Amino acid sequence: MQDIRNLPAEDSYHEDQELQVVAFRLGNEEYAVDILYVQEIIRLLNITRVPRSGPHIEGVINLRGNIIPIVNLHSKFNLQAAEDEEDKRIIVFKWDEMQVGVIVDEVSEVIRIKRQDIEAASKVYGALEADHIKGIAKIENRLLILLNLAKIFEAGW
């Protein structure tokens, strides 16, 4: 996966480079992922448990005939899932011909972030976690954690 900073912004004629991200909520924290890696956002479907898979694999779903693995980032990041099922969604990410779904508590919005508003993750996190995180975006009063999906998923379960 390319470093987010090197990705061409969609409208490159802007002086200040912008990044489009999908922001979502896991527990009480707000996360964001580059929109280029988001295939679609769907309502919760029946998830079939896959025995003997990793601890953070929730199971698999049938998305129009395709079998898609679902990952539980709550348990991966040690976060408490929201009680309310109503707002929960599955974000299906796609890269390198690989598709993985993630259950999120709520999808907030699609936001444009100026690159100068992104702070390097290493300032806030330790080296290990920083690997999963591309940076922290400050938008008004909110802090969005920009995830490095490839790193998270290639780490194995």
Q: Which residues here bind other proteins, judged by CB under 8 A?
A: 46, 48-53, 57, 59-62, 65-69, 97-100, 153
Shortest Cβ distance from residue 85 to other proteins (Å)? 18
Shortest Cβ distance from residue 98 to other proteins (Å)? 6
3-state secondary structure of 97: coil
Measured CA to CA, the distance from residue 124 to residue 9 in angstroms comes to 25
Shortest Cβ distance from residue 127 to other proteins (Å)? 26
Indicate the residue among 45 and 110 with the shorter CB distance to other proteins.
Answer: 45
Taking every pair of Cα atoms in the chain, the longest distance, rounded to a whole number of angstroms, is: 51
Q: What is the DSSP string of 45-75?
A: ---B--TTS-TTEEEEEEETTEEEEEE-HHH
Beta-strand relationship, 118-119 and 29-34: unpaired
Measured CA to CA, the distance from residue 130 to residue 124 in angstroms comes to 8
Indicate the residue among 57 and 144 with the shorter CB distance to other proteins.
Answer: 57
Indicate the residue among 69 and 135 with the shorter CB distance to other proteins.
Answer: 69
Indicate the residue among 31 and 153 with the shorter CB distance to other proteins.
Answer: 153
Shortest Cβ distance from residue 59 to other proteins (Å)? 8
